[in-house]
């Protein structure tokens, strides 16, 4: 029985060797199939593609730089327009005081005082207007707009057509260029 098993073992080894040889041959044929000659690219074509990529990068960078210049120029212009905004805001209560003073002076009979204060008030207003300060035009009867007015209070409207409209202006509004720096404070009808 031991001879019989030895023969079987030899047969099995032979079969294993055959299958290994078959596998190696198949592997060689697949390697031969996969090792077909790879087309080498022309160096000029490669360089032209690289040049095109660099041109695209340059154009994007140039466009970004132009956008940056435009944006900073715009921001700079805005800064120049509103550079004195803080000082002008601080001067607004002085303008309000002049308005109140003019009302009281006009009640008196002293014409020289009224003329003098009017000259000073006009000079201050002209100076501030030359710096870009403008009064926001608001009148009683205008429709209330939350983007342009600040509602201080609501009172019952004297008539139905005054509902949602400005009844009184408590404080004038001012703008610097297109930017409102103080909203007009108003009373609206409900």
Q: What is the band of 161 on the pLDDT scale with cuts at 50, 70, 90?
A: confident
What average pLDDT does this structure show over 54-68?
A: 95
Q: What is the pLDDT of residue 159?
A: 86
What is the share, in percent, of the chain residues with pLDDT greater than 70?
Answer: 79
If one counts every other C-beta atom within 10 angstroms of the C-beta of residue 84, the result is 16
The alpha carbon of 116 is separated from its chain's Cα centroid by a whole number of angstroms, namely 48
Residue 171 has pLDDT above 80, yes or no: yes
What tens digit of pLDDT does each residue of 119-144 get? 999 999 999 999 889 999 999 889 89
The phi, psi pair for 168, rounded to 5°, reads: -145, 155
- Whole-angstrom distance, CA of residue 189 vs CA of residue 183: 18
According to CATH, the superfamily of the domain at 80-189 is Head domain of nucleotide exchange factor GrpE (2.30.22.10)
- Whole-angstrom distance, CA of residue 40 vs CA of residue 35: 14
């Amino acid at each position: 029985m031991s001879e019989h098993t030895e023969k079987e073992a030899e047969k099995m080894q032979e079969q294993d060797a055959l299958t290994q040889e078959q596998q190696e041959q198949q592997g060689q044929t697949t390697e031969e199939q996969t090792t077909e000659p790879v087309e080498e690219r022309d160096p000029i074509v490669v360089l032209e593609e690289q040049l095109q990529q660099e041109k695209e990068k340059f154009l994007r960078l140039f466009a970004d730089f132009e956008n940056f210049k435009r944006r900073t120029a715009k921001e700079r212009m805005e800064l120049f327009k509103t550079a004195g905004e803080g000082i002008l805001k601080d001067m607004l209560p002085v303008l309000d005081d002049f308005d109140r003073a003019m009302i009281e002076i006009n009640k008196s009979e002293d014409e020289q005082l009224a003329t003098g204060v009017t000259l000073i008030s006009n000079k201050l207003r002209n100076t501030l207007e030359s710096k870009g300060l403008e009064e926001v035009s608001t009148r009683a009867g205008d429709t209330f707009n939350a983007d342009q007015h600040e509602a201080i209070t609501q009172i019952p409207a004297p008539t139905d057509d005054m509902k949602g409209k400005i009844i009184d202006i408590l404080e004038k509004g001012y703008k610097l260029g297109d930017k409102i720096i103080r909203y007009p404070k108003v009373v609206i009808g409900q």
